[in-house]
C-alpha cells in the first residue's frame, strides 16, 4: 500500500478557511503567522475575514490557498507519505510540504506568480473556459485549429482551455458544434496555463533564480511530465514551464495508479481533486484530510 498527498489549485478558496485551526492549533497558527511575515502583509486577515473580492485577487488567493493547505497538514501531524503532487499552484504547496522549498519562500514565490499572471494580460483580453463532455483528443485537435491552448486536462470529459478572449470564444463555439455538453467561461481574472503568460514565465524564472530548492523528501509527481520528478534543476524548469503549458492532471492520477499508489489524501480547502480522482481512477481510494 502506498499513499500520496495532493494539494489543490486556485478556485478552492472560501472566506474563513483555516480560521478554526488558527484559533485552536499552534502549528497551524505558526504557518499563517510566518506567511504574514514573509509577505509583510496581514494576509491571514483577508483569508479569515474577506471580503471575497480581495481574497480572490490572484496575488492573494495563491499564497492563501497554500498557507491554508500547509496549516492543515501541520495541524494534522500526518507523516509525509512516499509521494506528493499538486494541481497548478498546488505544486508549490506539494514542494513546500516535501521540504523542497521553505514556507516563506513559497509564499513569496506565489505572490510573484499571482502578480505576474495578472499583469501579463490586460484585464478583459484573456479568457479561460471549461469544456464538459468531450474527449481530450477532440479538444486538442480543435484547439490546434483555432490557436487556443489546453490549460487543464482534469479528468475524462472535463478540459479547460485558455487564451485570448476572442480565440477562446470562437473555440467554445466549435467545441459545442463538436458535441460538448457545456462550454462555460470561468471566473478567473487572468487566463491560465497558456502562451499569453510568457511574461509571467519570465518573472518566475527570475524569481526562482534566487530561491534554494532542495531535493524533496517525497517523490514529486509533476504537472509537466505526469511522472516523478526529483532533480532540483528540473523542478525549477517545471515551475516556469507550467505557466505557459497545461496541467496534465488526468495523466498524473493514472500514473499514480501505475506506481502502485492506493490511497490519495487531499489537503487544503475544497475537495475538487478527490472528486476528479473518482472519475479518473476509482481504484485509488481518494479522500479529504479531516482534522
| CA 248 from centre of chain | 11
Pull the grid cell for residue 49. Answer: 475575514
Share of the chain above pLDDT 70, in %: 100
pLDDT reported for residue 190: 86
What are 167-176's pLDDT values in tens digits? 999 999 999 9
What are 13-64's pLDDT values in tens digits? 999 999 999 999 999 999 999 999 999 999 999 999 999 999 998 899 999 9
218 burial (CB, 10 Å; 0-12 / 13-18 / 19+) is buried
Provide mean pLDDT across the span 178-201. 94
Longest CA–CA separation in the chain, Å? 54
pLDDT reported for residue 188: 81
Q: What band does 126 get if pLDDT is binned at 50, 70 and 90? A: very high
Q: What is the CA radius of gyration of the chain?
A: 18
pLDDT reported for residue 189: 77
pLDDT at 187 over 90: no
**Torsion angle (degrees, nearest 10) of CA 12, 16, 20, 23:** 130
Residues designated as active site: 88, 193
Q: What band does 182 get if pLDDT is binned at 50, 70 and 90? A: very high
| DSSP string computed for the chain | -EEEEEE--TT---TTTTHHHHHH-HHHHHHHHHHHHHHTS-HHHHHHH--HHHHTSHHHHHHHHHHHHHHHHHHHTPPP-SEEEESTTHHHHHHHHTTSS-HHHHHHHHHHHHHHHHHHS-TTSEEEEEEESS-HHHHHHHHHHHT-EEEEEEETTEEEEEEEHHHHHHHHHHHHHTT-SEEEE---SS--SSGGGHHHHHHHHHHHHTS--PPPSSEEEPTTTSSEE--HHHHHHHHHHTTTS-B-HHHHHHHHHHTTEEEEEE-SSS-HHHHHHHHH-TTSEEEE---
- How confident is the prediction for the chain on average, in pLDDT? 97
Q: Which domains does the chain have, with CATH numbers?
A: 2-121+195-288 (3.40.366.10), 126-185 (3.30.70.250)
Q: What band does 290 get if pLDDT is binned at 50, 70 and 90? A: confident
pLDDT reported for residue 140: 98
pLDDT reported for residue 123: 84
Q: What band does 242 get if pLDDT is binned at 50, 70 and 90? A: very high
Amino acid at each position: 500500500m502506498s499513499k500520496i498527498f495532493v494539494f489543490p489549485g486556485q478556485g478552492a478558496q472560501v472566506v474563513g478557511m483555516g480560521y478554526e485551526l488558527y484559533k485552536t492549533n499552534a502549528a497551524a497558527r505558526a504557518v499563517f503567522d510566518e506567511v504574514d511575515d514573509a509577505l509583510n502583509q496581514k494576509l491571514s486577515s483577508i483569508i479569515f475575514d474577506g471580503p471575497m473580492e480581495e481574497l480572490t485577487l490572484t496575488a492573494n488567493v495563491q499564497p492563501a490557498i497554500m498557507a491554508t493547505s500547509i496549516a492543515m497538514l501541520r495541524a494534522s501531524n500526518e507523516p509525509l507519505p512516499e509521494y506528493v503532487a499538486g494541481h497548478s499552484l498546488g505544486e508549490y504547496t506539494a514542494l513546500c510540504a516535501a521540504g523542497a522549498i521553505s514556507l516563506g519562500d513559497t509564499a513569496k514565490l506565489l505572490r510573484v506568480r499571482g502578480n505576474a499572471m495578472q499583469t501579463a494580460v490586460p484585464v478583459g483580453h484573456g479568457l479561460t473556459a471549461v469544456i464538459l463532455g468531450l474527449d481530450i483528443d477532440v479538444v486538442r485537435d480543435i484547439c490546434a485549429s483555432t490557436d487556443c491552448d489546453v490549460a487543464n486536462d482534469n479528468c475524462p470529459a472535463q478540459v479547460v482551455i485558455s487564451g485570448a478572449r476572442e480565440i477562446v470564444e470562437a473555440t467554445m463555439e466549435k467545441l459545442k458544434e463538436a458535441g460538448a455538453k457545456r462550454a462555460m467561461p470561468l471566473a478567473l481574472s487572468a487566463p491560465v496555463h497558456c502562451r499569453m503568460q510568457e511574461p509571467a514565465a519570465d518573472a518566475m524564472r527570475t524569481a526562482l533564480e534566487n530561491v534554494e530548492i532542495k531535493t524533496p523528501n517525497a517523490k514529486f509527481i509533476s504537472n509537466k511530465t505526469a511522472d516523478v520528478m526529483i532533480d532540483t534543476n528540473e523542478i525549477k524548469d517545471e515551475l516556469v514551464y507550467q505557466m505557459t503549458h497545461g496541467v496534465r492532471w488526468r495523466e498524473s492520477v493514472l500514473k499514480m495508479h501505475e506506481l502502485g499508489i492506493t490511497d490519495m489524501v487531499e489537503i487544503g480547502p475544497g475537495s475538487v481533486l478527490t472528486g476528479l480522482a473518482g472519475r479518473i481512477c476509482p481504484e485509488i481510494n481518494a479522500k479529504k484530510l479531516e482534522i
